[in-house]
Amino acid sequence: MEYKKDDLITLVIDDMGIDGEGIGKKDGFAFFVKDSVIGDKIEAKIMKVKKGYAYARLMRIIAPSSERTDPICQFYKQCGGCQIQALNYEKQLAFKMNKVMNNMQRIGGFSQETLEKIMEPVIGMNSLGQTPYHYRNKAQFPIGTDKNGEIIAGFYATRTHVIIPNTDCALGVEENREILETIIKYMKENKISAYDEATGLGLVRHILIRKGFATGELMVCVVINGDRIPFQNQLADVLSKIKGMTSISINMNKKRTNVIMGPECYVIWGKDSITDVINGICFSISPLSFYQINPIQTEKLYNAALEYAGLTGKETVCDLYCGIGTISLFMAQKAKKVYGIEIVAQAVQDAKKNAERNHIENVAFYEGKAEVLLPQLYEEKGLYADVICVDPPRKGCDEECLSTMVKMAPKRIVYVSCDSATLARDVKYLCANGYELKRICPVDMFPQTVHVETVVMMQYCGKGKN
C-alpha cells in the first residue's frame, strides 16, 4: 500500500526510537510517532513520508498501553524536554539499557553475547525512597515576551526557540518558581526589557539557577545583552531574601548567538560560588563551572567509576575533561597521584580550590585541551598513567587524545559518557588498539528524558580485540 501525507492510520506501537518516539509498523512500513509508548493502540496522521518509513502525529489513543503513565507536567507535549515522561519508570530504565546495548552493537561492533556478559543493570533513581523528579541542581531559563508583550520565562519548545512559559519545571528545584517570579516582577516594575533573538535587542536573555543539594545554597546568574543591569541593588535586595540565597551575579553575553553564557561574570551580591557535598567531598561551583546536574545519581556514577578504576593507592591517574575536579578528587582518595586536565579556566581554578578545601594534596590540575595537553605531558614530560579516566562532552574524545591514550598504554581506561553513540565509537577505536572491554554500567542521570550516562572499563591486553 502507498502511504501519503495527511493519511489517517491505526497503529500498535511495538518499539521505541532513540529519541523516545514510538514505532509502529504497517505492511512492513515503519511509522515514528512522538508521544506514543510501547503497547499503545493509536490513530495517527502521516506528516512526512520517506523511503521505507514515515513520521506521523499522534491524533488519539484508542487503547492506552499498560506501560503508559500520566505525565505530571502540564507542558509535557509542548516543551519536549521530558521525551518519555508518559512511560512508567521501570520501562524508562529498560529503554535506556537497550539504547546503550544497541549503540554498542551497531556502532561499537560488539556482539550481543559479549555485551550480555559484561553489561550491568542500569542504576536508576527508584531506590532508597528516591523519586525520578525534581533532581536537577541547575536550570537555564530563557527570558522573552509572549504575544501580548508580557515578560515570560520557561523552556524552548522542541526544535524551536519559542518559549513555553513555565516557572515550575517538574525536574527542577522548588525554589526556581520563586526566583523567576521575583525577577520577572523586578523587570516589569523597572521597565527592563527581555532579549529578542530576532532583532538582537533587549537586555535580559537567560536566568541561570543552581542549588547545592547537600548545603541548600542557591545561586542566581542573570545573563544580559549588555554590561550592566539597571537598579541591580534592588534586584540583589529582593533575591537575597530568598532562603538559601548565596550568590547573585551578572553574566555578559552581547553576541548574536545560541550560546547561553558569555565568558565573563561579576558578582552583585554574596559570594562568587556555591558549595555542594558529594560522598564527603566539598565542591565549589561557579556560574561557568561544569557540575553534574543530578547530585543523587552523580554519587552513584562516580562510585562506579572509582570501582572500575581498581585503585590500590599505588596508581597514577589522568582525569581528562575533569571540570571542577569531581572525579579527580574521588580518585585521589585511593590513588598515588591524579592529574586533571580541563579547558575551562574558571573550572580549573575551582578544581584547585576544591582540592585545597578538602585537604587533598596528591592532585594537580592543568588548563587546556585534553587532546593537546595529554600528548605534551606524555611526550615532553614523560607522564605515565596506570589509569586514565575520561568524561568528555557529547562529541566524545578527539582522535589525537585517543591516540595518545593508546601510546601511553595505561592498565585501565575508565570512560564516563553522556552519549552512548560517541562512547561506542571511541571504545571501538580503543579496543582495536590494545584494549578489551570488560565492564559497562548505564546510570540514569536524566529521568523522564531519553538521555543516559554510561561508565565503561577497558583493560590493556596488548593487542587489538573486539
Residue of 285, 428, 276 lying closest to 344 (CA atoms): 285
Q: H helices of 324-419, where?
A: 326-332, 345-357, 370-379, 399-408
Q: In what order do the strands lie in the sheet with 363-367?
A: 363-367, 337-342, 316-320, 387-390, 412-417, 453-460, 435-443
For residues 378-403, average pLDDT:
94
Kindly state whether residues 185 and 311 are assigned to the same domain.
no
Structural domain including 24 reads 8-68
CATH of the domain at 61: 2.40.50.140
88, part of any domain: no
For residues 437-456, average pLDDT:
97
101, part of any domain: no
For residues 115-144, average pLDDT:
93
CATH of the domain at 383: 3.40.50.150
Total tally of structural domains belonging to the chain: 3
Neighbours of 18 (CB within 10 A): 13
Residue 463 is predicted with a pLDDT of 62
Kindly state whether residues 180 and 259 are assigned to the same domain.
yes
Give the pLDDT confidence of 344-372 residue by residue, as tens digits.
888 899 899 999 999 999 999 999 999 89
Q: State the cell numbers at 363.
A: 592532585
Q: pLDDT band for 465, please (50, 70, 90 cuts).
A: very low
Kindly state whether residues 272 and 144 are assigned to the same domain.
yes
Handedness of CA 440, 395, 466, 464 (dihedral sign): negative
Strands (E), 130-261: 138-145, 151-156, 163-165, 204-211, 218-224, 245-252
Kindly state whether residues 246 and 177 are assigned to the same domain.
yes
Catalytic residues: 418
456, part of any domain: yes
Give the pLDDT confidence of 69-99 residue by residue, as tens digits.
999 998 988 888 899 999 999 999 999 999 9
Q: Between 342 and 463, where is the model more confident?
A: 342
Kindly state whether residues 423 and 446 are assigned to the same domain.
yes
Kindly state whether residues 169 and 310 are assigned to the same domain.
no
Residue type, 312: T
The answer to whether 289 touches 346, Cβ cutoff 8 Å, is yes
Kindly state whether residues 265 and 296 are assigned to the same domain.
no
The answer to whether 401 touches 320, Cβ cutoff 8 Å, is yes
106, part of any domain: no
Is residue 453 scored above 50 in pLDDT?
yes
Q: What is the CA radius of gyration of the chain?
A: 24
Which residue's entry shows cell 533513581? 125
Q: How far apart are CA 234 and CA 240, in angstroms?
A: 10
For residues 160-167, average pLDDT:
92
CB within 8 A of 277, min separation 6: which ones? Answer: 212, 214, 215, 283
Handedness of CA 96, 99, 101, 107 (dihedral sign): negative
2, part of any domain: no
Kindly state whether residues 439 and 297 are assigned to the same domain.
yes
96, part of any domain: no
For residues 374-403, average pLDDT:
93
Residue of 226, 143, 125 lying closest to 186 (CA atoms): 143
What distances in angstroms separate CA 93 from CA 113, 118, 183, 252, 423, one per listed residue? 21, 18, 37, 39, 19
Kindly state whether residues 265 and 318 are assigned to the same domain.
no
Q: pLDDT band for 466, please (50, 70, 90 cuts).
A: very low
Kindly state whether residues 208 and 169 are assigned to the same domain.
yes
84, part of any domain: no
Kindly state whether residues 333 and 215 are assigned to the same domain.
no
Residue 160 is predicted with a pLDDT of 86
Alpha carbons within 13 angstroms on the beta-carbon side of residue 400 total: 10
Point out the domain boundary residue: 278, 305, 334. 278
Kindly state whether residues 425 and 455 are assigned to the same domain.
yes
Instruction: Spell out a b/e string for 52-76, using b for 16 or more CB atoms within 10 Å of the CB, else e.
Output: eebbbebeebeebbebbeebebebb
Q: How far apart are CA 274 and CA 295, in angstroms?
A: 14
